[in-house]
Chains A and B, each alone.
Chain A
């Protein structure tokens, strides 16, 4: 019989399908009036936590409480509501209107972990807005917990988990004691839809708000963004009239022959 507490970190990001535009000043990506959603890897993390909870309930071998946490401005609560509608039990919003870099988020999460004492923290391997891929690893370092990153399969054992990770050479399977950090890769699962009954229930689930400054950690940005620019526009293709023409273009324009 195990009673787990799982903390899932989620981030509100510009929806993956939105065409990104750089703002006029070239200082940031345009986010006003742009559709935002939960970071896809965090959605996978939320799904994984709910699946663990469901599996334990089904096998009658234990229970799990799924807590979702998001650090950021007031709008982050939308993402938390989504996670609650998917099936998370309660939510914590660490509110901050200043820019949060991975180290700051890791420190804030550490403070939440110390308060909630979860057996496992699940994070997306990266957020698709800044593609940092750092927060999970930093949090493991700050907590001195073992970490299993880029998980494509998770099996829960007794006070441990066995994680399959996709690495360059193939797949690697590791076992780690709990508590531990887990970061999700794309193939771990397919997140569920938020069902109507769950969306209604989610409204009544508790959402605790904590002001970031009250956690007493230094969240000042360490990195300064100098410039943001769009990649160069792709040149259109060209039709060649003949083989000679092609050879000529390869030689003189593309300079590959």
Chain B
């Protein structure tokens, strides 16, 4: 019906909307709807490898060299031909790969920060296959790293040494959907955006949304307790996940795939796996509660002159927008400058002039007239009281997407000049931006920011509503000097303000040594006991999550 205009419009915005996780996603996936999702996607699975091989992956140093304190656990068995023979008896040949170029995209994370040395990739397509594989690995003490869409930010989904990579990519079917309760049950390897499109056709929405939605798997989302853009509205996965199917280290299938909203019978075991980053078992199935898709969505981008005003605008949004508020995102001038420089090319800047701070507000509701009136009243109030200096309201879906693309494009824009030191911190909102300013001053004092220096920019953005700051330090190259200026200062600062050193990215290999900044030794000890009980052989995602035990 709209072929000409829509195609042309899409072209115009491909640069923006496509920028999310972007170029590495096979286009097949981005446009996939549910019909082709089911089992036909296998053909595109190895394209990641192609991507990695054609990029600068060769230069990514081995994680074992970057983190020299990590030593391969000699008690793990090295892969032998008998092992391969066994896996061949469980899986079809198309689901096994030992080819170095195939493995490249699975050994290296998408940011090109971590590189493992795995020699074997397995892609089971059923829970039973996963169970057989893990039982064998447990019996023979072969280490395993579970991997979803490989969109993690802390190196949790890629191997460190020679762990076997167990990808959930071939487990990608929707198992059931209840049109009354909104309970969706699906395989762990379903791509978040595909699920969201599936639900969209039925009038529902996934309760989480993140920039990596075109690649990330729901199983990985659950295993890392991913937060994202809708958390403010729908809460965390600890609340929205109704049940899980997990294969434990010894191959036991723990079927807790409940679709019940309420269930107070015994310990809530599924919670243990949400955010366990594959160290306790592999999530193979997810039951999740999908809310109704809002009928009316509005987006506004505001320019503000101080962080105090950002807080004031947030406070008022909770009063005046209350139940229709669905996102309150903030970013600073340095963030938008990077986006303009690297992604948007600035032919249609939403706001006329620059502002020190920006806020993106989204409302979602069921009645457009009602929402419009509330939002307009709120925005007029902010403008009249000079809380905001300027702002725009999206008038159509193109503008809606373009405004979101600015916010979602920040992480990618940061990585355009080189490596990024990424920190994902929970900090009490009043202290939120002090972190960014302190870090900027600290790097300035160390004389490492600027032209011809190691660091390009220090940017702060994040989810104000969730008290979650993303501190990104965009660098041109890795340098020990810069790393030492940043760490452990950033963690000490966060601990001093009773924050969390990992708000939504998890621990992986990157943050595990710093866990004690956020958790007491008693708690870490308890975590170790849980790990030892669930995975006595320690084969599940080793070298990560919990800090090395001092012997």
Residues of B within 8 A of A38 (CB): 395-396
A85 to B379, CA, bound (A): 14
Would A40 and B9 count as touching, CB distance under 8 A?
yes
A249 to chain B, nearest CB (A): 15
Q: Which residue of A lies closest to B389 (CB)?
A: A196
Query: For chain A residues 182-213, which have a beta carbon within 8 Å of chain B?
Result: 186, 190-197, 199-200
Residues of B within 8 A of A129 (CB): 1-2
Would A236 and B36 count as touching, CB distance under 8 A?
yes
B390 within 8 A of A: yes
Query: For chain B residues 291-318, which have a beta carbon within 8 Å of chain A?
Result: 295-296, 300-302
Report which of A16, A18, A194 forms a contact with B395, defined as CB distance below 8 A. Answer: A194
Encode B392-403 as 1/0 by CB contact (under 8 A) with A: 111111110101
Report which of B9, B12, B40, B368 forms a contact with A239, defined as CB distance below 8 A. Answer: B40
Would B399 and A193 count as touching, CB distance under 8 A?
yes
Would B8 and A193 count as touching, CB distance under 8 A?
no
Q: Which residue of A lies closest to B28 (CB)?
A: A237
Encode A1-35 as 1/0 by CB contact (under 8 A) with B: 00000000000001111101000000001000101
Residues of B within 8 A of A40 (CB): 5, 9, 396, 398
Would B390 and A195 count as touching, CB distance under 8 A?
yes
Encode B344-361 as 1/0 by CB contact (under 8 A) with A: 000110111000000000
Would B4 and A192 count as touching, CB distance under 8 A?
no
A18 to B2, CA, bound (A): 10
Would A16 and B398 count as touching, CB distance under 8 A?
yes
Interface size on B, residues (CB 8 A): 42
Residues of A within 8 A of B300 (CB): 196
Residues of B within 8 A of A237 (CB): 36, 40, 43
A162 to B172, CA, bound (A): 56
A124 to B394, CA, bound (A): 20
List the count of A-B residue pairs having beta carbons below 8 Å apart. 106
Contact A195 to B352, CB < 8 A, known contacts A16-B397, A239-B40: yes
Would B5 and A16 count as touching, CB distance under 8 A?
yes
B361 to chain A, nearest CB (A): 12
A16 to B2, CA, bound (A): 7
Residues of B within 8 A of A196 (CB): 300, 302, 379-380, 383, 388, 390-393
A126 within 8 A of B: yes
Residues of A within 8 A of B180 (CB): none
Q: Which residue of A lies closest to B42 (CB)?
A: A239
A15 to B376, CA, bound (A): 21
A37 within 8 A of B: yes
Encode B260-298 as 1/0 by CB contact (under 8 A) with A: 000000000000000000000000000000000001100
Residues of A within 8 A of B8 (CB): 186
Most buried by A among B36, B347, B398: B398
A43 within 8 A of B: yes
A194 to B379, CA, bound (A): 13
Would B397 and A17 count as touching, CB distance under 8 A?
yes
Would B390 and A15 count as touching, CB distance under 8 A?
no
A15 to B298, CA, bound (A): 14
Residues of B within 8 A of A236 (CB): 35-36, 40
A8 to B548, CA, bound (A): 69
A37 to B350, CA, bound (A): 18
A121 to B299, CA, bound (A): 31
B6 within 8 A of A: yes
A100 within 8 A of B: no
Would A128 and B12 count as touching, CB distance under 8 A?
no
Encode B363-401 as 1/0 by CB contact (under 8 A) with A: 000001000000010011001000010111111111101
30 contacts between A and B (CB under 8 A): A15-B397, A16-B397, A17-B398, A35-B397, A37-B395, A41-B5, A82-B395, A126-B4, A129-B1, A129-B2, A131-B1, A131-B2, A131-B5, A186-B5, A186-B8, A186-B9, A193-B392, A193-B393, A194-B392, A195-B352, A195-B391, A196-B300, A196-B302, A196-B379, A196-B380, A196-B391, A199-B379, A237-B40, A238-B40, A239-B43
Interface residues of A (CB under 8 A from B): 14-18, 20, 29, 33, 35, 37-38, 40-41, 43, 82, 85-86, 126, 128-129, 131, 186, 190-197, 199-200, 233, 236-239
